[in-house]
Structure 1
Amino acid sequence: MRTTAMSHLNQPTNLAITKTSKHQNYNSLGGHLAQRLVQIGVSDVFSVPGDFNLVLLDDLVAEPQLNLIGCCNELNAGYAADGYARSCGVGACVVAFTVGGLSVMNAIAGAYSEDLPVICIVGGPNSNDYGSNNRILHHSIGLADFSQELKCFQQITCQQVVVNHLDNAQEQIDGAIAAALEHSKPVYISISCNLPGLSHPSFLRNPLPFSLPV
């Protein structure tokens, strides 16, 4: 059953226009994402570690204004992010490619039906593995096509981005977060596991004018 909007979402809320984070790697991809989460009002991120997201999680842990909460499974992480969004306006969870992404889908689908902005972040394959048609990765469904998870999330999120190049990573991440807040729906952000620690000049740009709808 679809619930009515919570009262806290009915109040004018302007989230994060200025840079307040003191993250030492603010111009790395992982630091950029950590800063953006802080700027939209997220202080708790629910996660299940895996080898595809470990470097990214290190960046989130290093952000002093974020509290990384480990969960026993991905479904719990997703529902915790759902509850956090109900209470605080927007939630976030971090899981690993396919084995974690498919596990969290029930919670993300529920958030979609309830109009809850949940940022679902997935640690994805190494960017060098994309396009290697004969490469089958562990914890996948056994196909060289890495788009299976993305195709599933297209049905239950308002925007999906696969970040496997630094050049447009800032635009992809910021655009997805803005879409979640604008439409009050979950979004899917997949980030290649070899990119979070890398820097790019675009990560120094001012944030988009993130805000929750009035």
Structure 2
Amino acid sequence: YAVSCIKSSSSSLGLHLAWRLVEVGVNDVFTVPGDFNLVLLDHLLSEGSLKLVGCCNELNVGYAADGYARARGVGACVVTFTVGGLSVINAIAGAYSENLPVICIVGGPNSNDYGTNRILHHTIGLPDFSQELRCFQQVTCCQVMIEDLDTAHELIDKAISTAVRERKPVYVSVSCNLAGLPHPNFSREPVPYAISPRFSNSKSLEAAVDTAADFLNVAVKPVLVAGPKLRV
């Protein structure tokens, strides 16, 4: 996929993430704004090929991204830390069971707050910011925490490529104080995603179709029950 805009020396983390989403075919991102993701949303909006679709709650966000992944091949959503993440997780778990690549992006705490033993709002009252991450480890195939700019480029690519390759949701946490910051890595021409195509064995497919057709042709009142792995 071609990126529609030209890279500049002021490319931010949020804008870079937007470019990489567009590259894999995401043009609509479903979201509920919250204080930890506001700057990130502003920078995602600066990519003209990406549209933010506001929803009334995070569960709707997750199911909208689920449907988008079914229709377009990959979906994405943005929520806020913990209160948003724990709300969207039911839909993400459903996407995991249905083999749908949904990129779940969470606006995370300030990177300077990690290790301070502080109790932040949006937590469960403990100085531990990893509760949300531990929950998502059960329903995503990859989890990345972007807490410094030097590794952000690599972690974003790792998460997105894993989602597309494994056909499963991924979790991406972006520290709220980093979303609007530039880095030299974001100004370079991006390396296209190298994702192996999914091949089908033509002879096996033809044999399966012929067998199914023979079975249906002799049935009197056939009823088709679609299984959870069916894709149109």
Alpha-carbon distance in 1 for matches of 2:163, 2:100: 8
CA shift, 1:20, in A, is 3.2
Question: For the Cα contact (< 8 Å) 2:76–2:102, is it kept in 1?
Answer: yes
Residue 143 of structure 2 corresponds to which residue in structure 1? 160
* Cα displacement string for residues 133-171 of structure 1 (whole angstroms, at most 9, x for unaligned residues): 1x1111111111101100000000000001011110100
Percent identity of paired positions between Structure 1 and Structure 2: 68
Kindly provide the amino acid, as one letter, of the partner of residue 183 in structure 2. Answer: H
5+ residue gaps, structure 1, are: 1-15
Larger fraction in helix = 2
Residue 118 of structure 1 corresponds to which residue in structure 2? 102
Alpha-carbon distance in 1 for matches of 2:128, 2:194: 34
CA shift, 1:129, in A, is 0.2
Alpha-carbon distance in 2 for matches of 1:131, 1:51: 21
- The SS at the match of 2:150 is coil
Question: For the Cα contact (< 8 Å) 1:40–1:210, is it kept in 2?
Answer: no
Confirm or deny that 1:48 pairs with 2:32. yes
5+ residue gaps, structure 2, are: 199-232
TM-score between both structures, scaled by the size of structure 2: 0.81
Residue 171 of structure 2 corresponds to which residue in structure 1? 188
Alpha-carbon distance in 2 for matches of 1:185, 1:50: 25
TM-align CA RMSD: 1.6
Alpha-carbon distance in 1 for matches of 2:197, 2:101: 11
Alpha-carbon distance in 1 for matches of 2:40, 2:104: 13
* Cα displacement string for residues 49-90 of structure 1 (whole angstroms, at most 9, x for unaligned residues): 000000000011121101100000000000000000000000
Residue 58 of structure 1 corresponds to which residue in structure 2? 42
Higher relative contact order (CA 8 A, sep 6+): 1
Question: For the Cα contact (< 8 Å) 2:45–2:51, is it kept in 1?
Answer: yes
- The SS at the match of 1:168 is helix
Which protein has the larger Cα radius of gyration, Structure 1 or Structure 2? 2
Aligned residues between the structures? 197
Residue 145 of structure 1 corresponds to which residue in structure 2? 128
Residue 76 of structure 1 corresponds to which residue in structure 2? 60
